[in-house]
Amino acid sequence: MEKGKTAKAPSSMHIFLKRVSQGPAPWLAPLVIVLVALFILPTLEVIRYSFTDASLLRQNYNYTLKSFRVIFTTPATYDILWNSLVFVFFSVVFQTLLGLIIALAVDKGERIRLHGSVFVRVVALLSWAIPGAIIGVVWSFMYTEAGTGILITILKNMGFENVSFLTNPDHAMPCTIVANVWRGTAQSMILTYAGLKTIPIDIIEASQIDGANAFQRLWRVILPSIFSVISTNIILNTINTFNTFDMIFSLTGGGPGRATEVLALTSYSTIFTGYNLGRGSAYAVVLLVINSLMAIGYFAVLRRRERN
């Protein structure tokens, strides 16, 4: 087909090529090729694997729906989904709230020229620059349960005896969430802080003159003004938290038992320690579907903002 066309009208092909070369295509092609090769194709491959009984240990495989049947009939899957939900929900709630509180405090401090405001801003953002895997190691030191541990010693001095952190299945998840809030608040804080800076100062002053108290100002003026920033922030936070692997891996490895195992960890261990590529990919597809739903939510928010 192509050849016949060229032979008939070489000049039109020439014109076509010329037009392409003057358009955006040559500028974008390298990027698009890399993204297709390293994102789109692998993503399609994972979906394909999920419909097979492939194993890392052999080359042959058959197409089957068994992986999905197994994961949706295994009770452990629902524990893991529940863990992911709990981990994401509480992390995001506290990251958003803490980010808002710190942003408001730093903003207020800067306006009344309080010493230390800038320092607080730097400290609160510091965790953003620390790799997640190292954050897990740092917090595993904090949660050391031997007498040499620091948190346990502090709690003992406050009168709490026999405290347990990561070894106790009931405490492991809250402890992991605390570490994750420590990690994720920076992102939340910086977005909220930047949002606060866009509120015109006269709006706040006007509400002050109208006699609004601090709480009314926050609820009626400040929060509505930064609503779109906060909603973007919540969605981005949710996506990041949901994809967390590094910090949990180095902090608890998903344990004790499955107490802190989230979806990404299950997918990883099913494939790389259980060698079950098909089933692990099915878990990855569940992860992918949830990621996509969140992405859709994100774009809906973006579009609404664009319209406003």
Binding residues among 177-196 for other proteins as defined by CB under 8 A: 182, 185, 187, 190-191, 194-195
Question: Which lies closer to other proteins via its Cβ, residue 221 or residue 235?
Answer: 235
Which residues, at least 6 apart from 95, have a Cβ–Cβ distance to it below 8 Å? Answer: 180, 181, 184, 185, 187, 188, 237, 241
Among 70, 86, 120, 212, binds other proteins (CB under 8 A): 120
Binding residues among 212-231 for other proteins as defined by CB under 8 A: 229
Question: Which lies closer to other proteins via its Cβ, residue 173 or residue 285?
Answer: 285
Compute the C-alpha angle 28/32/38, nearest 5°: 155
Q: Are 172 and 256 in contact (CB under 8 A)?
A: yes
Which residues, at least 6 apart from 254, have a Cβ–Cβ distance to it below 8 Å? Answer: 248, 260, 261, 262, 265, 266, 269
Binding residues among 7-66 for other proteins as defined by CB under 8 A: 23-28, 30-32, 34-35, 37-39, 41-43, 45-46, 49, 56
Least Cα distance to 297 among 225, 242, 218 occurs for 242
Count other Cβ atoms within 10 Å, centred on residue 8: 9
Q: Map residues 122-161 to x or -, x wherever contact with other proteins holds by CB under 8 A.
A: xxxxxxxxxxxxx-xxxxxxx---xxxxx--x--x-----
From the CB of 248, what's the least distance to other proteins, in Å? 11
From the CB of 45, what's the least distance to other proteins, in Å? 4
Q: Are 268 and 245 in contact (CB under 8 A)?
A: yes
Q: Which two tokens stand for residue 9?
A: 């009208």
Question: Which lies closer to other proteins via its Cβ, residue 4 or residue 24?
Answer: 24
Question: Which lies closer to other proteins via its Cβ, residue 7 or residue 112?
Answer: 112
From the CB of 7, what's the least distance to other proteins, in Å? 29
Question: Which lies closer to other proteins via its Cβ, residue 169 or residue 297?
Answer: 297
Phi, psi of 28, deg, nearest 5: -95, -20
